[in-house]
Amino acid sequence: MNDALRLKVCNLLHENAKLSPETIARMLGERPDVIEKTIEELEQEKVILRYSAVVNWEKLPVNQVTAVIAVKVLPQREVGFDAIARKIYRFDEVKSVSLMSGGYDLQVTVVGRDLREVSRFVSEKLATLENVTSTATHFLLKTYKSDGVIYDDTDGERRLMITP
Amino acid sequence: MNTLYERLSPVVRNLPPSGIRRFFDLASQMQDVISLGVGEPDFVTPWHVREACMYSLEQGYTTYTPNRGLPELCVEIAKYLTKFGLTYDPSHEVLVTVGGSEAIDLALRALVCPGDEVLIPVPTYVSYKPCALLAGADVVELPTYAEDGFRLTADALERAITPRSKVLVLCFPNNPTGAVMDKEDLQAIAEVVQRHDLFVVSDEIYAELTYGSQHVSIAAIPGMRERTVVVSGMSKAYAMTGWRIGYAAGPEPIISAMLKIHQYTIMCAPHMAQRAALEALRNGDDERDRMVESYDRRRKLIVAGLNEIGLPCHEPRGAFYAFPDIRPTGLTSEQFAERLLLEQGVAVVPGNVFGDPGEGFVRCSYATSVELIEEALRRIRTFVEHLSYHPVR
C-alpha cells in the first residue's frame, strides 16, 4: 500500500473530482491501471466517500436557509457523544454533525426551506432529544469561502497572452 | 525612411525587433485562445505577501530605500542564497534591482567594454543579447542541442573562445528549453571559464523550479565565486512578476560597480515591493513549495501528452516550459505556431525567437490550469493529425 501515492491521489481528486485516472496518472508519472486500482481501493475503504460539486446555491432560484446550531449534550456512559450524534445525523435535514471542543459539544448544520421549517426542526426534533440540554441556532447569512473555495473569486486571467 | 528615425542611436536602430511581438498582436485579436505562451506563473502572489505590502503602505513606507535595497532584505537574500552553498556579505555583495532584468543589464554594463565578446548559449531568454549589444559588446552565440538536453558543453564553449571573450551568460534552469545543468556539467564549464579568465553572469531566476534535482549554482563551484555574478529574483519562485524585485550577488568590486550604475539610473527598487519581497523570503517557503509541486504535475501531463501526439519532447527538468520538437510536422517553428493559432486557437511561442537552434521547436508554458492544458493538447492533436492527412511537402 503506497500511502504517499494515496495521499496525492486524494489531494488531486479533492481539488477536482473530474480528473480522469489517465490524467492523474500522467500528472503523477504513474501507470493508469495503478491509479485506477488506487482509486478503487480508496472507494472500497471509504476513504473517498462521494464525488460532489461545490455549488454556490445563492446563484440558483432556490429558497433555502442554513442554520449552524451549537448543541450541548450530556455524554453517556460507554458511548460518550457518539450515540446522541448518531441520533442527530440520521435526520435528513441535518447536513453535518461534528464534535467540538469549547463552549458546546456538537455543531449541527441544518438546511430547510425557510426559517420556520428550521425552527420547527430545532424545537420539535432536536431540542427534545433525550440528553440534549441546550441549543443555540445561528442562521447563515452568506458564505464567502468553503472548503478552500472562494465563492465570488475575481482572480481571473490577468496575464498578457504571450510574454518572453 | 524618415529622418528622425535615422537620427536615432544606431546601436538601438540595429537591435533586432522582438520576435514575439508580431505573434502577440495576432493572438490578441483572436477569441477563445488557449495561451501556452505566457512566461510567468499562473498563481496570484500569495495573499500574505500582498497583505504585507498593504500594511507597509499603511505604515507609510513610501520613501526611497538605500540604493542597495533595504538592509534587512539584503540580509534575507544572503541568507536565502546559503541554501545553494553561496555566502555573500549582505552589506557589500548583494544588490536589490528592478527585476532580474535590471541586474542582467547592470552586470553586463559593469563588465564589458566595446569590442569585448559576450558568449550566450542559445536558445535562451531574449534579453541577454540586446543588453550585451547596448553595452557595446559583440555577441557570440553558442548553440545547444536537444541531443544534449540543451545543456552547454565545455567543448562548445572552448571552441567559441577568442582573445576578446570576456563574459559567459548562463540561464539554467533554462527558458525556453527547461534544461538544467548538473554539477558535473558546471564543473566542466567552470574549468574552461577559469582557464580563459572569463566572467560569468548566471541568471538563476528559475532556481526554485527544478524537478527531481536540487539547483546547483555555478558560483558554488570552487574558483567561480570571484568571477560570477548570480542574478535571481522573486518573480518565478514566489509568483511576483509584476512587483519587479530581483537581485544580484557577487564579489564586492563587481557589485559596487553595478551599484554605481544603479544609483544613477534607478536610485532604488520600489520600496513597497521590497517590503513584500521581505515577507515572501521570510514566510513564503510553504506556498512556494506547493506551487512547485503543482508545476511538476502539469509538467508531467504536458510532456506525456506532447510525446503521445508525436511531437518528441525531452524531459524539461526546470522552469515551466516544455520545448517539443515539431520537425516531424514538416513545418517551421513560425509556420507551426501561426497555423496552430489560426486553425486551433492555441498560442505557443516559436522556438527560433530564442535563437537559431530553437528552429524546429516551440515553447509551451505549462503554467496554466490542468483543464486548459488538456484542451490545448486535444487541439494540438487535431492540428497535427490534420497535417498528416494534408502534408505540406
DSSP string, A89-151: HTSTTEEEEEE-SSS-SEEEEEEESSHHHHHHIIIIIITTSTTEEEEEEEE----SEETTEET
Residue B158 structural domain: 61-284
Mark yes or no for CB contact B370/A163 under 8 Å: no
Would residue B50 count as lying in a domain? Answer: no
Contacts of B119 (CB under 8 A, 6+ apart): B140, B142, B157, B160, B161, B165, B167, B168, B169, B198
Structural domains for chain A: 3-44 (1.10.10), 57-141 (3.30.70.920)
- The CATH number of the domain where B275 resides is what? 3.40.640.10
Last residue of a domain, one of B284, B318, B341: B284
Would residue B21 count as lying in a domain? Answer: yes
**Considering only residues 129 to 158 of chain A, which have any Cβ-Cβ distance to chain B shorter than 8 Å?**
155
Q: Chain centroid to CA B304: how far? A: 24
Would residue B55 count as lying in a domain? Answer: no
Are B88 and B249 within 8 A, CB to CB? Answer: yes
Mean pLDDT, rounded, for B152-180: 98
Statement to judge: residues B238 and B361 lie in one domain: no
The model carries a pTM of 0.93
Q: Looking at residue B1, what is its pLDDT?
A: 56
Neighbours of A143 (CB within 10 A): 13
Would residue B54 count as lying in a domain? Answer: no
Q: Looking at residue B20, what is its pLDDT?
A: 85
Q: Looking at residue B392, what is its pLDDT?
A: 55
Would residue B161 count as lying in a domain? Answer: yes
Statement to judge: residues B72 and B41 lie in one domain: no
- The 10s digit of each residue's pLDDT in B71-119 is 999 999 999 999 999 999 999 999 999 999 999 999 999 999 999 999 9
Alpha-carbon span B341 to B351, nearest angstrom: 15
Q: Looking at residue B322, what is its pLDDT?
A: 98
Confidence of residue B16 (pLDDT cuts 50, 70, 90): confident
Confidence of residue B17 (pLDDT cuts 50, 70, 90): confident
Mean pLDDT, rounded, for B11-36: 89
Statement to judge: residues B261 and B123 lie in one domain: yes
- The 10s digit of each residue's pLDDT in B343-382 is 999 999 999 999 999 999 999 999 999 999 999 999 999 9
Contacts of B294 (CB under 8 A, 6+ apart): none
Q: Looking at residue B193, what is its pLDDT?
A: 98
Statement to judge: residues B108 and B253 lie in one domain: yes
For A161, the closest of B42, B297, B347 (CB atoms) is B347
**A-interface mutation test, from B32, B206, B301, most A Cβ less than 10 A away:** B301
Last residue of a domain, one of B284, B302, B333: B284
Statement to judge: residues B278 and B319 lie in one domain: no
Query: Does B390 score more than 70 pLDDT?
Result: no
Last residue of a domain, one of B229, B260, B284: B284
Statement to judge: residues B221 and B318 lie in one domain: no
Mark yes or no for CB contact B20/A26 under 8 Å: no
Statement to judge: residues B266 and B365 lie in one domain: no
Q: Looking at residue B148, what is its pLDDT?
A: 94
Chain B residues lying within 8 Å of A15, measured CB to CB: none
Would residue B238 count as lying in a domain? Answer: yes
List chain A pLDDT tens, one digit each, 164 residues: 689 999 999 999 999 999 999 999 999 999 999 999 999 999 999 999 999 999 999 899 999 999 999 999 999 888 899 999 999 999 999 999 999 999 999 999 999 999 999 999 999 999 999 999 999 999 999 999 998 999 987 777 889 999 98
CB-neighbour burial class of residue B275 (10 A; exposed 0-12, middle 13-18, buried 19+): buried
Statement to judge: residues B258 and B235 lie in one domain: yes
Statement to judge: residues B108 and B142 lie in one domain: yes
Statement to judge: residues B317 and B255 lie in one domain: no
The total of structural domains in chain B comes to 2
Chain A residues lying within 8 Å of B23, measured CB to CB: 162
Q: How far is A159 from chain B (nearest CA, A)?
A: 7
Q: How far is A145 from chain B (nearest CA, A)?
A: 15
Statement to judge: residues B112 and B229 lie in one domain: yes
Look at the block and give the residue holding cell 517590503.
Answer: B275
Mark yes or no for CB contact A16/B37 under 8 Å: no
Query: Does B171 score more than 60 pLDDT?
Result: yes
Q: How many residues does chain B have?
A: 393
For B20, the closest of A12, A28, A164 (CB atoms) is A164
- The CATH number of the domain where B15 resides is what? 3.90.1150.10
Look at the block and give the residue holding cell 505540406.
Answer: B392
Would residue B241 count as lying in a domain? Answer: yes
Q: Chain centroid to CA B13: how far? A: 25
Statement to judge: residues B85 and B227 lie in one domain: yes
Would residue B29 count as lying in a domain? Answer: yes
